[in-house]
A and B are shown apart, each in its own frame.
Chain A
Amino acid sequence: MAELKNWYLICYDIRCPKRWRKAYKLLEGYGERLQYSIFRCWLSQRMREKLRWELEKILTTEDDLILIRLSQQCVRDLPKYNRSNTWLLDEKGFRVI
């Protein structure tokens, strides 16, 4: 159970502003906002399931949610066909302020 991690794209469409705000705040705790309603998160399976469970408590059946797991190859190729700065990686493990 070495914790393998992957990048995930998380996109949603939420019909009610109250639920939208809750979900938005929750997702901010897990990853980075790319655009409104699109987040990217670096998650292990354990964290993904935790996030899905927490989202499930907020969303109702009329809302849409999709999680897309990006393989290592997908992420590696991303800079080739995107504007620079679209997907910056910072894997230092620490931050000095």
Chain B
Amino acid sequence: MSTTNLDQRTSINLTEDTIRVSALHAFAYCPRLFYLEEVEELYTQDSAVFAGRRLHEEIDKQEDEEWLDLYLEDEILGLRGRVDALRTREGQTIPYEHKRGRCHRDENKQPQAWDSDKLQILAYCCLLEASLGITVIEGRIRYHADNVLIHVPVDDQGRQWVSDTIKQARELRKSAYRPPVVNNEYLCSRCSLSPVCLPEEARLAHNKEWHPVRLFPQDDEREVIHVLEPGTRIGRTGEQLKISRRNEADEKVSIQQVSQVVLHSFSQISTQALHFLSYKDVGIHFVSGGGRYVGSLDTRNGSIQRRIRQYEALTKSDFCLELARKLVKCRGEGQRKFLMRGKRNIKRKSPDLEKAIAQMKAVLKQVPQVESLESLLGFEGNLAALYFGALPNILGKDVSDSLGFAGRNRRPPKDRFNAMLSFGYSLLIKDVMNAILTVGLEPALGFYHQPRTQAPPLALDLMEIFRVPLVDMIVVTSINRQQWDTETDFDVRGQQVWLSDSGRRKFINLYEQRKAESWKHPVTGYSLTYRRLLELEVRLLEKEWCGEGGLFGQLIVR
């Protein structure tokens, strides 16, 4: 007996890991959920997950001595897992599974186990039989919400079901293709992974008539902490961030309320704080004193499947061209719409502005037919020249000359307008990078911008969509509203112009307030804040190469 056992053990492929019973449960619920968790290593826990864990903690405390909780693994069967409870009833060993929710009711309103739960308890039974060498006659599931106990008898059919499912799950784990969304939307509305999987958006991509229900959180209310003052120190104390400044009392912020820490110029952060922030998935970004984006802490581990698919897709030149055309169109339309909006606000007639708007329309018409990335760059240059050429026309007539605009220049910016644009784009690329890192894509491989050492191309690509709504608009409107002081808010050194400390503070305020405004997504039809839109857009981009495309690059201001 033992020798045959050994032979079998050596004959199976040892690199093939066992599957968790709870992953098998996920597989029975939705193969896509299983794939996202097991292969792509995406986990998001929702309230039900934590409530379930708490139930187990509470049962733990209430139970008397017959409580037994076991971690089991069997390589031949290919399963591992922790049995909720094991009891002996009339000489038989019976595994128990506790569920927080309600049971399934059949046509006659009789209580039944849900299919995925039934499979899970059967899997535990098989695991017990295989690793303890006993025969289990049944498993039991208790549904706590309606207090129902269901007996699941173990028979050969059940054992077959378990081993078939293990085989299917193993196949899927080796596959490089993400399974499609399931047909039953009810499952998605209950699923903890829906903000990552975006099932409703995938359905919309296949069926334009679909009215998506929003499963994506509307807003992220956690704070972005900008540290401008040099010499400020960020540390950790308990579950809080501690911000210490010279001559001021320490400030403490709860970690759950922080989404990013942005360190401008030379503020300090401790290693403990860095560890803590990475552990809690908080973004850490560095911006130089001159307002240049320096970099971000990249804590991605895993997410390799997503990046492999990205490499595969973005090395196909046709595919890149297609995406690039969408992007240039999106940005150009946005610029044109912004000029048109500006035209409404100024009273006087401006023939230059009219002309530029008309010319942009003509150029934009040609964009979908462009045949190469090089000529696309030419078209983009054309659009940008027309746009920036017409931009001074939408500034109010009482704006002082020193805030005027006469063409884009940078590195370093030579006038106040350009200094604001440059600083704004630095903040924007920081937020785009944050979204890319959150989703787990590779920022260094883009589809439009070519690889350079300066900045990550994918971030530059995605940034194009948000330049107009998040930066250009606030610069122009704040100038028209006379919100700037030409002396104190800027730092003029000969040819070079920077924002001064107070200017940067003012700009960050305007920018962050803008990000908190919500915008109705033109395709999905629900509104989100810009903070969330950034992340949604990256996820929609990822869908472009997963067979669920068509929603990327549709954000055009009206």
A interface residues, Cβ below 8 angstroms from B: 1-3, 5, 25-26, 28-32, 42, 44-50, 52-53, 56-57, 60-61, 91-97
B196 to chain A, nearest CB (A): 12
Q: Which residue of B lies closest to A2 (CB)?
A: B218
Number of chain B interface residues as a range: 35 or more
The reply to whether B245 and A97 contact each other, CB–CB distance below 8 Å, is: yes
The reply to whether B254 and A31 contact each other, CB–CB distance below 8 Å, is: yes
A42 to chain B, nearest CB (A): 7
* Residues in B neighbouring A92, C-beta threshold 8 A: 223, 512-513, 516
A-B CB contact pairs (8 Å), 29 listed: A1-B217, A3-B219, A25-B239, A29-B238, A29-B239, A29-B256, A31-B254, A31-B256, A32-B254, A46-B46, A49-B46, A49-B48, A49-B51, A50-B45, A52-B50, A52-B54, A53-B50, A53-B54, A56-B54, A61-B61, A92-B512, A93-B224, A93-B515, A93-B531, A94-B223, A94-B225, A95-B223, A96-B228, A97-B227
* Residues in A neighbouring B513, C-beta threshold 8 A: 92
Given contacts A1-B194, A52-B51, A93-B512, 8 further A-B contacts (CB under 8 A): A2-B217, A26-B239, A29-B238, A44-B47, A49-B54, A93-B223, A93-B515, A94-B508
Contact of A1 among B215, B226, B239 (CB under 8 A): B215
Q: Does B485 contact A (CB under 8 A)?
A: no
Q: How far is the CA of A30 from the CA of B232 in the complex (A)?
A: 24
B residues 185-221 touching A (CB-CB < 8 Å): 189, 194-195, 214-215, 217-219, 221
Q: Which residue of A lies closest to B251 (CB)?
A: A97
Which 3 A/B pairs are nearest by Cβ-Cβ distance?
A29-B239, A49-B50, A49-B47
Q: Which residue of A lies closest to B253 (CB)?
A: A95
The reply to whether B54 and A28 contact each other, CB–CB distance below 8 Å, is: no
Q: Which residue of B lies closest to A5 (CB)?
A: B221
B97 to chain A, nearest CB (A): 19
* Residues in A neighbouring B57, C-beta threshold 8 A: 53, 56-57
Q: How far is the CA of A45 from the CA of B214 in the complex (A)?
A: 17
Binary CB contact string for chain B from 39 to 57 against chain A (1 if under 8 A, 0 otherwise): 0000001111111011001
Q: Does B90 contact A (CB under 8 A)?
A: no
Q: How far is the CA of A97 from the CA of B50 in the complex (A)?
A: 35
The reply to whether B505 and A46 contact each other, CB–CB distance below 8 Å, is: no
B93 to chain A, nearest CB (A): 28
Q: Which residue of B lies closest to A91 (CB)?
A: B221
With A3-B218, A29-B256, A49-B50 given, is the CB distance from A94 to B238 under 8 Å? no
Q: Which residue of A lies closest to B188 (CB)?
A: A1
Q: How far is the CA of A96 from the CA of B504 in the complex (A)?
A: 10
Q: Which residue of A lies closest to B194 (CB)?
A: A1
Q: How far is the CA of A44 from the CA of B218 in the complex (A)?
A: 12
A16 to chain B, nearest CB (A): 15
Q: Does B477 contact A (CB under 8 A)?
A: no
* Residues in A neighbouring B189, C-beta threshold 8 A: 1
B residues 429-460 touching A (CB-CB < 8 Å): none
* Residues in B neighbouring A56, C-beta threshold 8 A: 54, 57-58
A36 to chain B, nearest CB (A): 16
Q: Does B509 contact A (CB under 8 A)?
A: yes
* Residues in B neighbouring A32, C-beta threshold 8 A: 254
Q: How far is the CA of A37 from the CA of B138 in the complex (A)?
A: 47
Contact of B221 among A28, A29, A93 (CB under 8 A): A93
